[in-house]
């Protein structure tokens, strides 16, 4: 069997979008699963739409996602060059062969010696291929007009260049978006004209948003560009995992899978025939699972970047490490740590009616006075010591469970719910905690 070779062929017309990333990722998985080569080719013939930095950004974020490739414009390889604008002579050469064979013809521009080259579409032929995703697809040549291979400026059209390149680069399998289905018969005509083998094609379904509408780049509800996910603190491994599930299913129950596991399990026959739903909640969940798996110190360094960006000064490294441990289970993206921090540590301490009523209901004044005394005697204000003080407060006041924990939590954090109380209090610091308890006692007595 021929060695599998796949390619991702972006047009550098913008930054790496979730849809492109999916095409790249599936193409990559396909190659890796069959121990093949993965090639990157830049399709830059739509000169007016190319954007500065588009190619670099695409490659940068494919690397960020964890894709590696054997051949590309920046790496080179035996079938280069890998940018179409650097291959114009090749397209010209093959267009000339078709002209000589009478399979294409020149079409002169009015009052000019410039000409485009059109492909002569065979009459009454049926083009049929076995799509990897959709099964047999059939097209009649009478539905296709003679189409342009080379424009009069010497630049090939996509449908011509893609065939020359896929053939010369020995691509065996092509996975791409469904918008290319109707291009496929045109491409097959060129393969046949040259007598070349036709690769296997697979056209992936569209990605839809939660309203089941095609994900559009203008859709403000969904983050669209991979760069923005990095900026918000999504982890590349989680993005890889999430994107691999957009239109493919591993079959089993477990959906949290490493890159290597996905490569192993990848099965093109499990590519979905119905649109892939972009489920934001699922993405948040998957990312949170990967955050939980991260080493605390690594997560701390990642979190630091977000505090720096928000211009928030953090006491010291150890404090940040504790903060990260406290919130590790509650983060769906690393940048969320700033929000969580602001909610818990940075807001003005105050109590609302409901909280004051709870304190009253639990008769909490004695608990608060006892807790205050025990805490003020502490030399080391650590979560372990604080934990002991909570238990001791319970013993002395003969309380436990909800009345005890709820009273102490409200009096120190101003909230009824939150992460581990001893650690929260350690992070708040002794002075702040004691001030809050004093204030709570005053508020309760109606003293303010």
Q: Is 11 in the site for ligand GLU (CB under 6 A)?
A: yes
* Residues 196 and 222: beta-carbon distance below 8 Å: no
H or E stretch at 375: helix 365-376
Asked if 9 interacts with ligand GLU (CB under 6 A), we say yes
Q: Is 207 a residue that touches ligand GLU (CB under 6 A)?
A: no
- Select 39 or 427, whichever has its Cβ closest to ligand GLU: 39
Q: Which stretch binds ligand GLU (CB under 6 A): 4-12, 123-131, 370-378, 409-417?
A: 4-12
The size of the interface with ligand GLU (CB under 6 A), counted in residues, is: 7
Q: How many other C-beta atoms are found inside a 10 Å radius of the C-beta of residue 222?
A: 15
- Binding region for ligand GLU (CB under 6 A) out of 5-13, 113-121, 272-280, 363-371: 5-13
Q: Does 45 bind ligand GLU (CB under 6 A)?
A: no
The answer to whether 113 touches 129, Cβ cutoff 8 Å, is no
β-bridge mates for residue 150, sequence order: 117, 156
Catalytically annotated residues: 217
Token representation of residue 330: 């509650």
- What tokens were used for 418? 């939150």
The DSSP bridge pattern shows strands 276-277 and 207-208 to be: parallel
Query: At 146, phi and psi to the nearest 5?
Result: -55, 130
Give the range of 3-11, 86-94, 106-114, 351-359 binding ligand GLU by CB under 6 A.
3-11
Among 25, 104, 150, 162, binds ligand GLU (CB under 6 A): 162
Per-residue DSSP letters for 318-348? HHHHHHHHHHGGG-SSTTHHHHHHIIIIISP
Residue among 279, 276, 325, 356 at smallest CA distance from 426: 325
And the tokens for 325? 């441990």
CB of 50 to ligand GLU, least distance (A): 11
- Asked whether the beta carbons of 167 and 191 are under 8 A apart, the reply is yes
**Binding track, positions 233-272, relative to ligand GLU; x by CB under 6 A:** ----------------------------------------
Least CB distance to ligand GLU at residue 212 (A): 23
- Least separation in angstroms between residue 200's CB and ligand GLU is 13
Site string for ligand GLU, 95-124 (x = CB under 6 A): ------------------------------
Indicate whether 5 belongs to the interface with ligand GLU (CB under 6 A). Answer: no
Residue 264 CB coordination number (10 Å):
14
43 sits near ligand GLU (criterion: CB under 6 A): yes
Question: What residues make contact with ligand GLU under the rule CB under 6 A?
Answer: 9-11, 43, 162, 176, 180
């Amino acid at each position: 069997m021929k060695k599998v070779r796949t390619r991702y062929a972006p047009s550098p017309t913008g930054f790496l979008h979730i849809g492109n990333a999916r095409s790249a990722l599936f193409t990559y998985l396909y190659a890796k699963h069959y121990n093949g080569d993965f090639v990157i080719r830049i399709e830059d013939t739509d000169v007016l739409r190319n954007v500065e930095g588009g190619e670099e950004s695409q490659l940068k974020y494919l690397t960020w996602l964890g894709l590696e490739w054997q051949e590309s414009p920046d790496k080179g390889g035996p079938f280069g060059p890998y940018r179409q604008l650097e291959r114009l002579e090749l397209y010209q050469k093959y267009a000339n062969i078709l002209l000589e064979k009478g399979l294409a013809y020149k079409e002169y521009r009015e009052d000019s010696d410039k000409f485009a080259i059109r492909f002569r579409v065979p009459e009454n032929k049926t083009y049929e291929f076995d799509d990897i995703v959709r099964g047999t697809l059939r097209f009649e040549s009478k539905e296709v007009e003679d189409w342009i291979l080379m424009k009069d400026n010497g630049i090939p059209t996509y449908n011509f260049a893609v065939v020359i390149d896929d053939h010369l680069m020995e691509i065996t399998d092509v996975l791409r978006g469904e918008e290319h289905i109707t291009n496929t018969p045109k491409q097959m005509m060129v393969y046949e004209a040259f007598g070349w083998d036709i690769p296997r094609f697979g056209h992936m379904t569209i990605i839809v948003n939660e309203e089941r509408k095609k994900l559009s780049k203008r859709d403000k509800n969904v983050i669209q560009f991979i760069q923005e996910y990095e900026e918000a603190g999504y982890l590349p491994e989680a993005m890889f995992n999430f994107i691999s599930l957009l239109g493919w299913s591993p079959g089993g129950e477990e959906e949290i899978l490493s890159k290597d596991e996905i490569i192993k399990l990848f099965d093109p026959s499990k590519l979905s025939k119905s649109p892939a739903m972009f489920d934001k909640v699922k993405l948040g969940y998957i990312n949170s699972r990967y955050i939980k798996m991260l080493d605390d110190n690594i997560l701390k360094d990642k979190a630091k970047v977000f505090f720096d960006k928000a211009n928030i000064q953090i006491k010291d490294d150890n404090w940040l490490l504790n903060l990260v441990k406290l919130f590790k289970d509650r983060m769906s993206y690393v940048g969320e740590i700033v929000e969580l921090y602001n909610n818990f540590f940075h807001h003005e301490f105050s109590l609302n009616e409901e909280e004051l009523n709870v304190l009253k209901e639990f008769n909490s004044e004695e608990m608060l006075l006892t807790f205050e005394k025990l805490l003020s005697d502490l030399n080391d204000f650590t979560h372990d010591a604080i934990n002991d003080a909570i238990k001791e407060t319970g013993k002395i006041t003969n309380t436990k469970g909800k009345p005890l924990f709820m009273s102490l939590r409200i009096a120190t954090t101003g909230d009824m719910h939150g992460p581990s109380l001893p650690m929260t209090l350690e992070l708040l610091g002794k002075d702040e905690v004691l001030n809050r308890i004093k204030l709570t006692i005053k508020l309760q007595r109606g003293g303010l």
